[in-house]
Amino acid sequence: MSSILKSLDTFITSRVLKYYQTKPIPNHIAVIMDGNRRWSKNHSLSKQEGHKAGYDTLFSNADLCFQLGVHHLTAYAFSADNFTREQSEVDYLMTLANMAIKTFTEKKAELSEKGIRLTVFGDLQFLLERYHDRKAASALREKCLQIMEETKNNSPFHLNICFCYSSRHEMQMSAQSMIESVKQGKVHPDDLSYSMFSNGLYTAGQPAPDLLIRTSGETRLSDFLLSQSAFTLLHFVPVNWPDFTRRRMLDSIRYYLKHHDSLMDLRKSFVET
């Protein structure tokens, strides 16, 4: 009986994927993975168990996006402000980060074969400045840099993990870079542009998100891709991240498809004005 159900599930999944692959699905999906702690509280579990459930949900949905043909997935994993949380919770989040990097490293050949590139968005210097274990922070930072280097030529799926990330800090760094270019005479002030500014952001070379999803029912961006999301469809979902199943991801994509034409018209009118 179980083999029959498994075959049926595989068949249904195949048909669902084929259906969405014929639609104008988002090229770039961004996700604020909110609600791990609330989920754990609702299930009488520890915060660590909530974060582990959220970790598993990310990889499940990343696999779905890859199969659908989404080319960019950006996940808000750890903000620069998260260092202020309880030390035991921060320690476990660092453990999860190491687990993720270890998994990517072990599957390096598979990543290359499938064309999956991993990029970390964030100021990894914050690791050294804000995490209490400087040796562990330095080792994690080097692992992040190494896996980015080893997968930098992979295409077409780009997985961006926002870690030690702050959009305000990102914009500040880009603006400071522009100012420095003017001071050094490399750029005339009259030639400064938004295009130059955006090229200084972590997302340089990647398209703006088409769809930004936030779980847990909160309706704010929380310092996430503030500049990049000017013409992005926002979808606020009233479920905690660990409960954001692959079916719910498909629901969000279906929501995007309903608004696709109006969003494209808006973007076109902005470009033309």
Reply yes or no on whether the pLDDT at 273 is more than 60.
no
104 and 111 Cβ atoms separated by less than 8 Å: yes
pLDDT per residue over 74-128, tens digit each? 999 999 999 999 999 999 999 999 999 999 999 999 999 999 999 999 999 999 9
Pairing of strands 157-165, 233-236: unpaired
pTM across the whole model = 0.94
pLDDT per residue over 207-238, tens digit each? 999 999 999 999 999 999 999 999 999 999 99
Q: What is the pLDDT of residue 9?
A: 54
Reply yes or no on whether the pLDDT at 271 is more than 50.
yes
pLDDT per residue over 193-204, tens digit each? 999 999 999 999
Whole-number Cα distances in Å, 269 to 231, 259, 272: 11, 16, 5
Instruction: Give strand ranges (E) for the chain.
Output: 28-32, 72-79, 116-121, 157-165, 211-214, 233-236
Reply yes or no on whether the pLDDT at 4 is more than 70.
no
Reply yes or no on whether the pLDDT at 31 is more than 90.
yes
Partners of 237 in the beta sheet?
Answer: none
Q: Which domains does the chain have, with CATH numbers?
A: 26-167+209-272 (3.40.1180.10)
Q: What is the pLDDT of residue 272?
A: 47
What gap in Å lies between CA 208 and CA 224, rounded to an integer? 13
Mean per-residue pLDDT over the chain, rounded:
94
Q: What is the pLDDT of residue 3?
A: 61
How sure is the predictor about 11, in pLDDT bands with cuts at 50, 70 and 90?
Answer: low
How sure is the predictor about 173, in pLDDT bands with cuts at 50, 70 and 90?
Answer: very high
Partners of 232 in the beta sheet?
Answer: none
Backbone angles phi, psi at 235, to 5 degrees: -130, 110
How buried is residue 115: exposed, middle or buried, by Cβ count under 10 Å (0-12/13-18/19+)?
Answer: middle
Q: What is the pLDDT of residue 5?
A: 45
- Mean pLDDT computed over 37-62: 97
- Mean pLDDT computed over 241-262: 96
- Mean pLDDT computed over 245-254: 95
Closest CA to 148 of 133, 161, 132: 161
Residue 17's Cβ-side half-sphere holds a number of Cα atoms within 13 Å equal to: 15
Reply yes or no on whether the pLDDT at 267 is more than 70.
yes
